Structure 1
Amino acid sequence: MKSDSKSIIDLASFPVVLPNWQHAPATVRAFTTTRHGGASLGPYGDASGSAGLNLGDHVNDNPNAVKQNRDKLNRQLPSDVIFLSQVHGNIVLDANDLAAGSVSNIGDAVLSTQPGKVCAVLTADCLPVLFADISGKVVAAAHAGWRGLASGVLQHTVAAMRARGAQEIIAWLGPAIGPQEFEVGRDVLDAFAAQVPDVQIYFKAKASRDGSEKYLADLYGLARKLLNDIGVEQVSGGDRCTVSEVTEFYSYRRDGISGRMASLIWIAPD
């Protein structure tokens, strides 16, 4: 798993991005999908007009195409992914408790202590964060847009991992909207002001036509700061941009109608 995070490699039949963490245990597997290699067409395809690997079933894509894409993904995994109903909150679920098709799978993070149980989140600009403890006994995935970050989804995920015996935790920041593209209003800055004393470091003022306060927000920087503050010091990744890397990633901010990538992590079964 010691791979350059900029490398797009082929996992069986579709390309993925691998975490570039340096101390992941040998038993941990993880990757993020791209927009390539599936059955989805139109805005859910890839940038060249070929079929794409949209994994979101809530974005008005053809349901049969999404099923084909998910089936293709599941064939590469030790267990079928049970995706969450993500709500931009801070609820952490246990993968072992999830049931396919259940309306109770509402949350924005999922963890596992069971080998073969896959943790996954869907994103298209929001920040996917993958976690592992260096013993290889606990893993987790979190969906962290700015609302989730501000509501403590990363802190809740780390706390849940520690409650299950995790000691030293490492994290990888997967592909998300970069700091040169994430334009926000004053409300986003204010949402972090109480918990990030030096909040202005992560918000660069930007001129607006209507005179309102606009900023370019550093989602990656905010995530690193919040993780460091709770003792997660080994944080890698954070060097991709879903908006500017048109050929590789879906982006809701860029395109409006967009597919979703999946970021997945699991403990390899014996």
Structure 2
Amino acid sequence: MSAGGLLAADWRVPANVRAFTTLRDGPGVSLAPFDRFNLGNRTAADGDDPGAVERNRRALAEAGALPSAPRWLRQVHGTRVAAEPGADEPEADAAVTAVPGNVLAILTADCLPVAFAAVSGNEAVAVGAAHAGWRGLAGGVLENTVAAMDARAQDVIAWLGPAAGPQAYEIGEEVFEAFVSQDARAEAAFASTRPGHWRVDLYALARQRLRAVGVERVHGGGLCTISDAARFYSHRRDRRTGRMATLVWMD
């Protein structure tokens, strides 16, 4: 469900969990090609106004009724997980927290955003967020996030947010080999298009890797950032573009 520039996570989690991904048509002020709800301050080098991004982030806090300022990360397409990140933007591509009110945030524009909740009884006791580009996904960023949550894998629930979809995301041999060389079963997530090229299903790869470490409750998938220009930014489609944010926290 989407409203007010926010796409709510569609997953079955306790009532004390909040999660959503922002949409590009939210309450922002960025001009084309970043129009309009760009939340990525590192896109300033490509031409967006840092002041506009700051105004967008203030609008995000209001639109999302955030209990605290988001804990942003300095993402590097790696596998490091920041435990209880603060305001200093640590270099990492995932984060976890067990503190209610701490808002985890990651930025994407084709890479796969994944939200996590570790559940005990009728409430969540920890949440996590991961930025899974193909390098991070192949390197184990999702597995590392699950391990950092200090919970049994069977108690962890995941939501796969909007990413480059399997009908539009074509890759080459480097990506194919990065996954298939680790696990031959990953080949099922690739569809050959021409010599040395495949379309890849990031959602299928994420589900496969999560289930391999015991996370069976995996929701989401099916939204394509490349194909849906009205709602999503896409670096693959536009090159110069903004960033959506995926946020998760516990009340």
Task: Give yes or no for TM over 0.5.
Answer: yes
* CA deviation profile, 1:152-174 (whole Å, cap 9, x unmatched): 0000000001x267760000000
Deviation at 1:77, TM superposition (A): 0.5
* 1:230 aligned residue: 213
How has the CA–CA distance of structure 1 residues 215 and 165 changed in structure 2, closer, same or farther, with 3 Å as cutoff? closer
* 1:8 aligned residue: 2
Establish whether residue 174 from structure 1 lines up as the match of residue 161 from structure 2.
Answer: yes
Within 1, Cα distance between the matches of 2:250 and 2:60?
17
Partner SS state of residue 250, structure 1: coil
Task: Give the 5 Å matches for 1:1-270.
Answer: 7-10=1-4, 15-22=5-12, 24-36=13-25, 37-45=27-35, 52-60=36-44, 61-75=48-62, 76-95=65-84, 97-100=85-88, 105-135=90-120, 136-161=124-149, 163=150, 168-207=155-194, 212-268=195-251
Counterpart amino acid of residue 86 in structure 1: Q
* CA deviation profile, 1:208-249 (whole Å, cap 9, x unmatched): xxxx40100111100000001111001010010001011000
Counterpart amino acid of residue 59 in structure 1: T
Within 2, Cα distance between the matches of 1:82 and 1:137?
18
8 A Cα contact 2:154 2:214, kept in partner: no
Partner SS state of residue 99, structure 2: coil
Counterpart amino acid of residue 160 in structure 1: A
- Extract structure 1 runs of 4+ deviating beyond 6 A: none
Deviation at 1:29, TM superposition (A): 0.6
8 A Cα contact 1:138 1:166, kept in partner: no
Gaps of 5+ in 1: 1-6, 46-51
Counterpart amino acid of residue 146 in structure 1: W
Within 2, Cα distance between the matches of 1:167 and 1:217?
27
How has the CA–CA distance of structure 1 residues 187 and 41 changed in structure 2, closer, same or farther, with 3 Å as cutoff? same
Within 2, Cα distance between the matches of 1:74 and 1:170?
25
Within 1, Cα distance between the matches of 2:106 and 2:158?
15
Deviation at 1:20, TM superposition (A): 1.3
8 A Cα contact 2:153 2:214, kept in partner: no
* CA deviation profile, 1:21-51 (whole Å, cap 9, x unmatched): 12x0111111000001201001001xxxxxx
TM-score of the two chains, using structure 1 as the length reference: 0.86
Within 2, Cα distance between the matches of 1:221 and 1:154?
13
Within 2, Cα distance between the matches of 1:160 and 1:131?
11
The alignment's C-alpha RMSD in Å is 1.3
Deviation at 1:194, TM superposition (A): 3.4
Identity of aligned residues (%): 48
Within 2, Cα distance between the matches of 1:164 and 1:89?
22
8 A Cα contact 2:203 2:221, kept in partner: yes
Within 2, Cα distance between the matches of 1:99 and 1:17?
25
Counterpart amino acid of residue 77 in structure 1: L
Q: How many residues align?
A: 242
How has the CA–CA distance of structure 1 residues 164 and 231 changed in structure 2, closer, same or farther, with 3 Å as cutoff? closer
Partner SS state of residue 224, structure 1: helix
Deviation at 1:117, TM superposition (A): 0.2
Gaps of 5+ in 2: none
Within 1, Cα distance between the matches of 2:6 and 2:241?
18
8 A Cα contact 1:137 1:166, kept in partner: no
Within 2, Cα distance between the matches of 1:167 and 1:229?
11
Counterpart amino acid of residue 242 in structure 1: T
TM-score of the two chains, using structure 2 as the length reference: 0.93
Deviation at 1:195, TM superposition (A): 2.9
8 A Cα contact 2:161 2:223, kept in partner: yes
